[in-house]
Amino acid sequence: MWTFISFLPLLNLISPGFYNSQGSHYFVLNSFGGFLGYMVLGTYLKRYQTSVSRSRFLTCCAAVLLFSALLFVLRSFLHILPAGFIYDNLCFISIVYVYTIFTIIQYASRFITRVQPVFTELSKHSFGIYLSHILIIHFITQPLISSLALPPYAAIPLMAVITYLCCYISIKLLTFLPKSKYIVGI
């Protein structure tokens, strides 16, 4: 149901304003949509890990890259897609990206055992990073990136890296406080 609902923003291409992915309290399927689906997706991907061959993995990554390029062209040059369509966290595009990132990390972790402790350390702090990232974006990263006046293709990755590093450092520092497990969950 969640995957089906993630395709509903496409109806706005036919009839603008038909479906609001942020939620209309009168829409009957909104109980099945939302961010809760990402938790279900994560549980599913963790429980039913698939072994992917190298050629199939590279083919899937290339397909996602080409798909992203197509969406970029449709949005930026042809102006076919609405402004928030590509960046909407509850649209099927975001689900494809989350699945791809998870698969890349899962695939790469099999071959790079030296990186395993880094992923373990980051995953221990992921809940705190999730809770604090919006504050870091709003008060630190966004003003900093706005002052640099970079184009979006450079600003967005830079913003992601700075936000992640600031969040990780702040959560790591919080873990040194007494009774920090009640604050950050570690």
Q: Look at residues 101, 97, 159, 94 and name the one whose alpha carbon lies nearest to residue 133.
A: 159
What does the DSSP assignment read for the chain?
-HHHHHTGGGHHHHSTTS--TT--TT-GGGGG-STHHHHHHHHHHHHT-----HHHHHHHHHHHHHHHHHHHHHHHTS--S-TTTTT-TTSHHHHHHHHHHHHHHHHHHHH-GGGHHHHHHHHHTHHHHHHHHHHHIIIIIHHHHHHHT--HHHHHHHHHHHHHHHHHHHHHHHTTSTTTHHHH--
pLDDT tens digits along 132-169: 999 999 999 999 999 998 888 888 899 999 999 999 99
Q: Is the pTM of this model over 0.75?
A: no
Q: Regarding predicted confidence, which is higher, 32 or 152?
A: 152
Mean pLDDT confidence for 100-106 = 79
* pLDDT band, residue 114 (cuts 50/70/90): confident
Interacting residues of 129 by C-beta distance below 8 A, sequence separation 6+ = 122, 164, 167, 168, 171
* pLDDT band, residue 176 (cuts 50/70/90): very high
Average pLDDT, the chain: 81
pLDDT tens digits along 56-97: 788 888 888 898 888 888 877 887 776 666 667 777 888 888
Q: Provide the pLDDT for residue 160.
A: 93
* pLDDT band, residue 24 (cuts 50/70/90): low
Would you say 129 and 40 are in contact if contact means Cβ atoms under 8 Å apart?
A: no
